[in-house]
Amino acid sequence: MHIKNPLSDQDLSICGRVAWLRLNHNLSREDWSRLSGVTAGRIARIELGRCSLYYEDFRRLMPWLLGGPYNFESMRPVNPIWLMNGQGSIRLVSPLFLPSTLMLKIPYTTGFIEFMDENMDIINSLIYDPSHCTLPPQWLQPYLEYARQLKTWKNQIDGYKKAVDILLNRTANEVRK
């Protein structure tokens, strides 16, 4: 079968790493699709090297390999630099939240390679020197959303703590009687 627009070697390597990641995490294409919203057919085409990975595919797929966005496992996300060129660690030590194509006002079909080439300085800074990283405003939104999620979790934990304190006090009062 003749492929109309064959992928570059770099694209094919990325596709192979996507397939390896899914298989390494024992996740079926159907489950990954259901969790991420990327169709199983699209996942298959990426893994088989029939189409390139879009940046938005990366954003939507990768957190679900590790339990989903804001899950403790996904706090050590897949390293986009490793996915791009196979170098460095597969997973990062600290969280990495990337803006959507909508936030960046770029087409949904922006390729992962194109995105990484254009933003490698920011990505490198976020990964390897976050304390000195200056983000453009549209890159801050995912971090603000994460901060909101942390506040929600804190409020839930505070509520659970109050409930446990009440139960402990009641139990202590019953024991004293």
Q: Map out the domains of the chain with their CATH numbers.
A: 9-134 (1.10.260.40)
pLDDT of residue 171 exceeding 90, the answer is no
- CB-based contacts of 138, cutoff 8 Å, min separation 6: 99, 103, 104, 105
Q: Which amino acid is at 99?
A: P
Question: Whole-prediction pTM value?
Answer: 0.75
What 3 state SS string does 9-62 have? HHHHHHHHHHHHHHHHCCCCHHHHHHHHCCCHHHHHHHHCCCCCCEHHHHHHHH
Residue 86, sorted as left (phi over 0), alpha (psi -120 to 50) or beta, turns out to be left
Q: Write out pLDDT tens, residues 14-51.
A: 999 999 999 988 889 999 999 899 999 999 999 999 99
What pLDDT, on the 0 to 100 scale, is given for residue 130? 75
| Position 111 confidence tier, pLDDT thresholds 50, 70, 90 | very high
* Tens-digit pLDDT profile for residues 48-84: 999 999 999 999 998 877 666 656 565 678 899 999 9
Which of 91, 87, 73 has its CA nearest to residue 21?
Answer: 91
For a pLDDT cut of 90, what percent of the chain falls above it?
44
